[in-house]
Structure 1
Amino acid sequence: MKKCLVGVISWCDSNRFPQRFTVFKKTVNSIQRYLDRSDVITAIVDNASTQDVQDFIESSPIFDIKVLLNENTQDVGAYGILAQIAKDQNCQYVWFLENDYVLFRKPDILEAITFLEEHPECGYLRLQKFEYTNQEKYEKGSKNKIIDSENSVWLKNLITGKPLEWSEPVRMGSANTYHINNWHFGLHGGLISLENWHKLYPKLISQTPYYYKFETYMRDKYHQKGFKTAMLDKGVFSMEAPSVYQPKASVLKNVTSFFGGEKGGYIGGSIISYYQKNYHDFGPVQIQLFSNSLGDDELKILKQVFDSRWLGYGARSKQFETEFAQMLGCKYALGIASCTAGLFMSMEMLGIKKGDEVILPSVSFIGAANAVLKAGAKPVFVDVDKKYFNILPSELEKAITKKTRAVLLLHYGGIPSDMNAIKKILQKQKQKIYIIEDSANSIKSLYKGTYCGNIGDIGLFSLDANKVITTGTGGVMTLNDEYLYYKAQVMRFYGLKPTLSSGYDAMRARREKWWEIELEHPGNRYLINDITSAIALGQMKKLDQFIKKRKQIWQFYNRRLETIKNIKLPYDPPKGTTSSYYFYWLQVHNEAEQVSLAKYLVKNGIYTTFRYYPLHMVDFYKSKASLPNSEQIAHTTLNLPLHHNLSHKDLDRIINTIKDWSQRKR
């Protein structure tokens, strides 16, 4: 796999600027002479040059990929297309060139990439002609005579106005010398990682500035990210544009007209349309998959917390834990930093270690498998049922070995797993096998009269920003076993005894030296606080209302989408259960349709995705399992927006967009 795309953007009207075409030919010849193409992929994007120029490009053998446009998308467009080509070709870096950049020596691209990888503080690498020991002859605007006017630069940071500060020279394996300085971002001729490029490149919307304002936008972003700039001493190419552009004022006016507006103007609608069809960055999402509702209830309790002058774990946290336990009918509830933190805590609480196995459904959250691995144990992925995407009891039973210590299951989308069947299987085993319920999807979901999270040994809930109720981040652990509750308290706060977890507690317990520490376990800090708890208390008042609205939306989707023959809709919850209606999903026939529908929805401002990508298909976990149900689900399923802020207008738009896609597909 080649790591770098060398991309050229071109625009040349040979009738107006015949010299520019001459320089362009020099650029192409220099690339053919100096560039080792075994290391890179080459591409060119031409912005509607005259026909003779496009014929020249078409006949050139040095470009692997050629994009010849019939309209001028400006630098902003051409650079965006090259970045997308790099992504499609699985390249990690892009070297941007233009049609008047002439190479004068061989660039060592792989060495340059190595330099950037070893110096991540550098946002990009300048490769334009510049001599570190003769800086004065490149100083743009200097009163001294400029010897090399074609490659002059500002020897200062244009954002801060500060002069350049140079690092010690860095020598690589060749004779090349690299320098690091505080130079601002310059759009042209640089080598940059695709990751950094997308941190700087703006979304293409109808008010995206082009030309100078576009570069200024990226320069500001570069400065905000705190990047430094790398420079290859002497460079590898020379810019020859200034000697070409010496037209009269009337011709300059025509050039401005050709570009479609004044410098610093905005991209025209036709170019936006081009990107909506051809570039994956579709612009702002208008209908989100998840959303939150917070207001006066939360603010009222938050004010009480602020007035108390204590923001940490205190009265409101204890109130929240008590009310949450009462709501679910369990003995204990502990506020924790996140549901993921609870997954990691669970492994420690149950003593799961190297050599142990934990069974979990492949369609599950990545944090579950990470917690098992971090404990040193082996995650054993099993298949799910096709109707509800929950763990198959029959597959669970097959996966049990003498090493099995726990089952970490998910109630997908709020629909409870078949807990009676699972418990029956585990009760037959010789060893104790714990049940950990990941109930992040299933707050107030009922299974045969008992709430999810109150059926197994440990229940875990999420208060993340994408959940039914939210505090921004946070979670809850529910338990009924007194010993596990004690261990959870220890694990939650540094491994300290719960009754002596602070000096204040120890003083109230009449310890003579209350500042002494009594540690039971080398624990982490997963404690919730009164700010989070105050928001949670306000959200709990609305929970039933939220779930009611989500159920109505679920039913609305089913009624309005059932006439579309190309898609399959989710089943209602099984008899004897209720759902939190966390997810709504639909299925299409194959992966091609899945991708097609996803792009069409996003193109029309509706976000979609699939949660959760099967864990046995994640390369990092090195699973050799073949799980046909999970794989089919991953390649055919999409989640639709489902939250209490969706309006009738939003829902109609989602339905009509799916119907429109279905009709176009025919």
Structure 2
Amino acid sequence: MDIRLFKPSVGNDELESIQQVFNKAWLGLGPRVGEFEKKWSDYIGSAESVGVNSCTAALHLALSAFKFPKGKKVLVPVVTFAATAMAVLYNGLVPVFVDVDETTFGMSMEDLERKYDSDCVAVIPVHFMGHPVPMDQLMPWARARGLKVIEDTAHSAGGKYLGKALGTWGDIGCFSFEEKKCMTTGDGGMISSNDPELLRPLRHSRWVGINKDTWERYEENASYHADANSWYYEISDIGYKYNMNDLMASIGLVQLAKLDTMNRRREEIIRQYVDGLAGSNLVQPAIPYNLNDSSYWAFVVRVKERESFILHMKKKGVSTGVHYMPLTMHPLFVPYKAETPIADTLWRELVTLPLFPDLTDEEVAYVLESVASYAP
């Protein structure tokens, strides 16, 4: 077999939705984006959402909403995708790298306390691979210190923790709809909050700071509006070309309707993996997968001899990956290096195995057979 690591679950429904956009001949930021924003907000139970072109853009704009003074600090986990810390740098802030919990690979609450000081203004918890950070512990900790909480929910669209949607615990939640994630719009992201006023300026920021986007001006220019100046707009603050477009949203609307089903299928596959690895002394699940209202986008194992395992799986035709190395190992983040001994040691054991909704039971069995035949 030749088994991919990730694969988006898309088909005729998405094509038909795209065709509707083609028929309307409005491909950019338009009514489909607004429709998707509303349905996403309803789905997660959020007051407001703003569609953007990536979770990286979402994180950047989310931090910008608070207008923190330059040079202030933001607490981020050391094991995450670079965008989490990039957003801090984009805003002229300083990332403070927090070690991981050795069991869950989420942000360590103990190290969070050690790294906090009075210059910290925010914390960005990341639900690593979809495994929830204990938000019931983090939120009161942050509130007691006056910290804003931006949830990086890139890995966990549709997941819940203690019955509450991930991405709705903090002040702002940021989501990814990149190709590999729980649902996709090709690329794309969403910013959500229960404070509509907090997000209102971000609608302008995502559209180069313009106070009326093209669709708004188009509607105002309709024949029943007797106004020759409907074209007029103003720019009062710096902005970015971060908008979602109607092509993305047309895919997202279909994917959102499938999201729960896709997440349940991932749970079934992970359950097979966990059961199949129960007797292995060499390969074990990396985190304690809790398969209840979950949204895991990746299945990760721990292997002592990682390189030999990866080569073994490659020979079997099974794709693998490594997500992620500690950010302070990258040259850009070396100046911000901190003591993170758990992450520095344990990341060397992490290997990602195939996981996507269209993965068949036969393919899962083959992956497990390939794992079972591994001998370093």
SS in 2 for 1:417: coil
Q: 1:532 to 1:500 in 2, by over 3 A?
A: closer
SS in 1 for 2:283: coil
Corresponding residue number in structure 2 for 1:359? 75
Partner deviation per Cα, 1:322-346 (whole Å, 9 max, x = no partner): 1111000000111111111111212
Q: 1:423 to 1:498 in 2, by over 3 A?
A: farther
In the alignment, is the contact (CA less than 8 A) between 1:500 and 1:518 conserved in 2? no
Percent identical among aligned pairs is 31
- Deviation of 1:347 after TM superposition, in Å, equals 2.6
Q: 1:400 to 1:512 in 2, by over 3 A?
A: farther
1:15-414 equivalences under 5 Å are 286-414=2-130
Deviates more, 1:303-312 or 1:454-463: 303-312
In the alignment, is the contact (CA less than 8 A) between 2:167 and 2:192 conserved in 1? yes
Q: 1:306 to 1:501 in 2, by over 3 A?
A: closer
**AA at the equivalent of 2:307:** V
Corresponding residue number in structure 1 for 2:345? 632
SS in 1 for 2:285: coil
| Structure 2 length-normalised TM | 0.93
Q: Is residue 364 of structure 2 the alignment partner of residue 648 of structure 1? A: no
In the alignment, is the contact (CA less than 8 A) between 1:490 and 1:520 conserved in 2? no
Corresponding residue number in structure 2 for 1:597? 309
- Deviation of 1:447 after TM superposition, in Å, equals 1.2
Q: 1:318 to 1:624 in 2, by over 3 A?
A: closer
- Deviation of 1:361 after TM superposition, in Å, equals 0.6
Partner deviation per Cα, 1:49-89 (whole Å, 9 max, x = no partner): xxxxxxxxxxxxxxxxxxxxxxxxxxxxxxxxxxxxxxxxx
Q: Is residue 318 of structure 2 the alignment partner of residue 606 of structure 1? A: yes
Q: 1:391 to 1:498 in 2, by over 3 A?
A: farther
Corresponding residue number in structure 1 for 2:196? 482
**AA at the equivalent of 1:395:** D
In the alignment, is the contact (CA less than 8 A) between 2:313 and 2:319 conserved in 1? yes
Corresponding residue number in structure 2 for 1:579? 294
Partner deviation per Cα, 1:226-245 (whole Å, 9 max, x = no partner): xxxxxxxxxxxxxxxxxxxx
Corresponding residue number in structure 1 for 2:151? 437
Partner deviation per Cα, 1:297-336 (whole Å, 9 max, x = no partner): 2122222212212112222221111111100000011111
Q: 1:650 to 1:618 in 2, by over 3 A?
A: same
**AA at the equivalent of 2:234:** E
The separation in 2 between residues aligned to 1:651 and 1:631, in whole angstroms, is 30
The separation in 1 between residues aligned to 2:299 and 2:38, in whole angstroms, is 31
The separation in 2 between residues aligned to 1:651 and 1:518, in whole angstroms, is 55
- Deviation of 1:498 after TM superposition, in Å, equals 4.6
Corresponding residue number in structure 1 for 2:166? 452
SS in 1 for 2:293: coil
Partner deviation per Cα, 1:159-205 (whole Å, 9 max, x = no partner): xxxxxxxxxxxxxxxxxxxxxxxxxxxxxxxxxxxxxxxxxxxxxxx
SS in 2 for 1:639: strand
SS in 2 for 1:661: coil
Deviates more, 1:504-513 or 1:544-553: 504-513
Corresponding residue number in structure 1 for 2:332? 620
Partner deviation per Cα, 1:469-494 (whole Å, 9 max, x = no partner): 11211111111112211121121111
SS in 2 for 1:495: coil
- 5+ residue gaps, structure 1, are 1-284
- Deviation of 1:629 after TM superposition, in Å, equals 1.5
The separation in 1 between residues aligned to 2:78 and 2:367, in whole angstroms, is 29
Corresponding residue number in structure 2 for 1:504? 218
- Deviation of 1:459 after TM superposition, in Å, equals 0.8
SS in 1 for 2:284: coil
In the alignment, is the contact (CA less than 8 A) between 1:339 and 1:440 conserved in 2? yes
**AA at the equivalent of 1:378:** V
**Structure 1 runs of 4+ with >6 Å offset:** none
- Deviation of 1:506 after TM superposition, in Å, equals 5.5
| Structure 1 length-normalised TM | 0.54
- Deviation of 1:394 after TM superposition, in Å, equals 1.9
In the alignment, is the contact (CA less than 8 A) between 1:349 and 1:491 conserved in 2? no
**AA at the equivalent of 1:476:** M
- Deviation of 1:455 after TM superposition, in Å, equals 0.8
Partner deviation per Cα, 1:513-540 (whole Å, 9 max, x = no partner): 3333311212012111111111111111
Q: 1:498 to 1:425 in 2, by over 3 A?
A: farther
The separation in 2 between residues aligned to 1:437 and 1:337, in whole angstroms, is 17
- Deviation of 1:445 after TM superposition, in Å, equals 1.1
The separation in 2 between residues aligned to 1:401 and 1:510, in whole angstroms, is 57
In the alignment, is the contact (CA less than 8 A) between 1:407 and 1:435 conserved in 2? yes
SS in 2 for 1:385: coil
Q: 1:414 to 1:376 in 2, by over 3 A?
A: same
- Deviation of 1:647 after TM superposition, in Å, equals 1.8
SS in 2 for 1:410: coil
The separation in 1 between residues aligned to 2:162 and 2:19, in whole angstroms, is 40
Corresponding residue number in structure 2 for 1:107? none
Corresponding residue number in structure 2 for 1:193? none
Aligned residues: 373
The separation in 2 between residues aligned to 1:505 and 1:400, in whole angstroms, is 49
- Deviation of 1:597 after TM superposition, in Å, equals 0.4
The separation in 2 between residues aligned to 1:485 and 1:501, in whole angstroms, is 19
Corresponding residue number in structure 1 for 2:187? 473
In the alignment, is the contact (CA less than 8 A) between 1:353 and 1:375 conserved in 2? no
Given candidates 141, 160, 171, the residue that maps to 1:425 is 141
In the alignment, is the contact (CA less than 8 A) between 1:499 and 1:505 conserved in 2? no
Partner deviation per Cα, 1:433-474 (whole Å, 9 max, x = no partner): 111111111111111121011111111111111112112111
In the alignment, is the contact (CA less than 8 A) between 2:321 and 2:351 conserved in 1? yes
**AA at the equivalent of 2:374:** W
**AA at the equivalent of 2:102:** K
SS in 1 for 2:179: coil
The separation in 1 between residues aligned to 2:213 and 2:92, in whole angstroms, is 30
- Deviation of 1:638 after TM superposition, in Å, equals 0.7
- Deviation of 1:596 after TM superposition, in Å, equals 0.9
- Deviation of 1:574 after TM superposition, in Å, equals 5.6
**AA at the equivalent of 1:405:** V
- Deviation of 1:655 after TM superposition, in Å, equals 1.2
SS in 2 for 1:477: strand
**AA at the equivalent of 2:294:** S
**AA at the equivalent of 2:84:** A
Q: 1:603 to 1:573 in 2, by over 3 A?
A: closer
